[in-house]
Structure formats: structure tokens, C-alpha cells
């Protein structure tokens, strides 16, 4: 197997953390989709990373599909609840919300790369609203729990940590820690894990 990814993608980071937690050795092939010379479209017709290139030449995408494949490939460090459908759905809901925050934040980044006179302030505000509401929902859902799904470290925590890390990377001026102290405590706990520490996006 080989993972095709960029170092700044929160979705790729999620997969890389899962690989590390499950102790699966998988070489990393760097590819930035928006740069000239990218070959991502040869492996994913949508032109997005991450892509998991299988030994037989087939490919898996997007991050949620890859994570599920990895979870079923190794019993090490189970990251999706096995014995409770309720907890499984709860974990997946956290992942969907965290990924949605990344989607909205990424849309703001892309819009910001357009010429200033072509940028839509209305579009940016619309996406920022998703980020703001998403953070408020994460805050409320976490409450005083130690882990996102209320039971144990899981994919919910990984996805949430990647979303918070992406906001730090792209929007350092956003003081989400001051507004949502329980998320700050969670993020600090996650940052101490080797899988998170080793996948921090490079300085912009």
C-alpha cells in the first residue's frame, strides 16, 4: 500500500494518524492537487487527497472510506466501537461534523486565493458560519466528557483533533480555545500523542 497525500490536508492527517495508531506501515507519496505536475487525478477522478493506492493497483478514497478499510484490516487499536451500534453512529457523527468544519474552512481558504475583486464576502461569511456553528456543536457535544464519544479514544477524537489542528494552521487568529475551553483540553491531550505530534502540518 501507499498513501498519496499532502501534509496540509486535515483529511490526509486523519488517515495518517489512524495508520500510526494501528501500527500499519504505509509509505507516503506527497502530492499537492492544486500544483502543476500533480498526478492525483490519475488515482482519484475527483482530484482530491488522500488516496490509498492498493498493492493490486486499485485505489480507495475519500478519508472516511480509507479509515474504515484500515480499521477492518487490523485489530490493533480499535478506533470504531465494535459492540454498540449507538456508539458507532455517535463516533461517525463526530467524524461527519469535524470533516464538515474542515470542508467549510477549506472553502474559505480556496476563496481567499482568488483575486480580491472576485472574492465573495457573502460566500466567506456563509462558510464561516458553518465553522462557528460546528465548533459550538462540538463544544456542546463534548461537555465534560474525557473523550468525544463518551467511552474511549476513538476516530471521533482523531477527526475532531484534525479539524481543530486545521483551524490552527489556516486561521491562527481564531480564538476557539478561549471560547471553548473543553475543546482546548481535548486538543492538548491529543497533541501529546505521538500520532498527532508527528503529523502536525508544516509551518505555512
Percent of the chain with pLDDT over 70: 100
Q: Where in the chain is the domain with CATH 1.20.1050.10?
A: 85-193
Q: What is the mean pLDDT of residues 125-145?
A: 98
By residue count, the chain amounts to 204
Euclidean distance between CA atoms 113 and 146, whole angstroms? 38
Q: Where in the chain is the domain with CATH 3.40.30.10?
A: 2-73
Indicate whether 15 pLDDT > 90.
yes
Give 38-95 as a DSSP string.
--GGGT-TT--S-EEE-TTS-EE-SHHHHHHHHHHH--SS--S-SS-HHHHHHHHHHH
Q: What is the mean pLDDT of residues 139-144?
A: 98
- Is 2-73 a domain of CATH 2.60.40.3680? no
| Among 90, 103, 176, 96, CA closest to 139 | 176
What is the pLDDT, as a whole number, of residue 204? 61
Which neighbouring-strand residues pair with 60?
A: 52
Indicate whether 203 pLDDT > 90.
no
What is the pLDDT, as a whole number, of residue 192? 98
**Looking at the domain 85-193, which fold is it?**
Glutathione S-transferase Yfyf (Class Pi); Chain A, domain 2 (1.20.1050)
| Among 44, 32, 30, CA closest to 2 | 30
Euclidean distance between CA atoms 29 and 169, whole angstroms? 21
| Among 199, 145, 204, 173, CA closest to 13 | 199
Amino acid at each position: 500500500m501507499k498513501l498519496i497525500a499532502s501534509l496540509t490536508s486535515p483529511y490526509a492527517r486523519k488517515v495518517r494518524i489512524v495508520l500510526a495508531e494501528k501500527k500499519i506501515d504505509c509509505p507516503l507519496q506527497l502530492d499537492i492537487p492544486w500544483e502543476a505536475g500533480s498526478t492525483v487525478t490519475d488515482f482519484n477522478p475527483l482530484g482530491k487527497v488522500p488516496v490509498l493506492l492498493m498493492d493490486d493497483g486499485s485505489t480507495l478514497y475519500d478519508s472516511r472510506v480509507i479509515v474504515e478499510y484500515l480499521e477492518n484490516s487490523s485489530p490493533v487499536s480499535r478506533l470504531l466501537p465494535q459492540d454498540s451500534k449507538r456508539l458507532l453512529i455517535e463516533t461517525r457523527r463526530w467524524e461527519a461534523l469535524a470533516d464538515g468544519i474542515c470542508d467549510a474552512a477549506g472553502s474559505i481558504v480556496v476563496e481567499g486565493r482568488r483575486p480580491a475583486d472576485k472574492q465573495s464576502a457573502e460566500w466567506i461569511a456563509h462558510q464561516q458560519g458553518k465553522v462557528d456553528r460546528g465548533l459550538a456543536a462540538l463544544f456542546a457535544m463534548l461537555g465534560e466528557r474525557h473523550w468525544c464519544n463518551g467511552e474511549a479514544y476513538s476516530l471521533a477524537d482523531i477527526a475532531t483533533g484534525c479539524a481543530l489542528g486545521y483551524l490552527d494552521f489556516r486561521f491562527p487568529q481564531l480564538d476557539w480555545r478561549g471560547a471553548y475551553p473543553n475543546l482546548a483540553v481535548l486538543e492538548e491531550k491529543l497533541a501529546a500523542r505521538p500520532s498527532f505530534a508527528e503529523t502536525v502540518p508544516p509551518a505555512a
